[in-house]
Amino acid sequence: MLALLVQPEPGTGSAGADARRAAEEIRARPDAEIAVFPELFLGGYRLEEPEALACDPAGEEIGAIAAACREAHTAALVGFIERGPLALYDSVACIDEDGELVVVYRKAQLFGAEADVFRAGSWLEVVELAGRRVAPLICFDVEFPELARAAAMAGADLLVTCAANMEPFGREHRLHVQARALENRVPHLYVNRSGAESGFRFVGESCAVDADGSVVAAAADGEQTLLVEVGTAGAADARVDYLSFEPTRMPVEVRSKSHSKGGSR
């Protein structure tokens, strides 16, 4: 699978304008089988005006991107503010290569002030896109091993994280992105935004990681795109195919100081 990773500078403040840019990027690289854009790509990371930037999943912004996917025969994952029936969500639209909006994934782990703006999602997704079983994650989600592990155990063979990771947390995501791939033996596409917006400095560093945790392509800071070949899932050595050794839930013994020198209870 050939993947297009789009690392932008801050958006225009217009969900419609950013949707048109996404469509242009997809049309410009019809050789890509899947295109990935960052968290809240449509409109930007602007928590102070969420209603003005919110999109209906069935609306014209997602529809414009879906049309480009259909023309280029390219699947896409695009971050946006979803206007739900009862709340706003930090979401990723998952569009297949036929231009069908297959699912909208809602961020489960909200970071900082996001919890004052959005409602957290209640479930994970594994969705078929371009012949792969893709598990979408959004930014802070990737810092929780349990989420990626649950998706991998459910059959995901590709992790895709759409991020808006900012200073001073660049080092954390560099480690988390590789770890989630290695510990699940699943390749991982990570796309982050760059530049400054809403008082934050985003760090870029989008990358593609193989199932052994090695980085096969990486961006630095600044606006750029990567076109990368996605690896396959699984371990070369069965002894470290971690999913096949998923442990049962273990009890935890908590020892107080009074028991530290004693024998058995």
Q: Which of 107, 162, 197, 207 is catalytic?
A: 107
From the candidates 25, 33, 39, 125, give the one annotated as an active-site residue: 39
Active site residue 162: no
- DSSP secondary structure letters along the chain: -EEEEEE-S---S-HHHHHHHHHHHHHH-TT-SEEE--TTTTT-S-TTSHHHH-B-TTSHHHHHHHHHHHHHT-EEEEEEEEE-SSSEEEEEEEE-TTS-EEEEEE-SS--TTHHHH-PPP-----EEETTEEEEEEEGGGGG-HHHHHHHHHTT-SEEEEE---BTT-HHHHHHHHHHHHHHHT--EEEE--EEEETTEEEE---EEE-TTS-EEEE--SSSEEEEEE----S-SSGGG-GGGGPPPPPP-----GGGTTS---
261 as an active site residue: the answer is: no
139 given a catalytic annotation: yes
Q: Which one is catalytic: 69, 94, 139, 207?
A: 139
- Residues marked as catalytic: 39, 107, 139
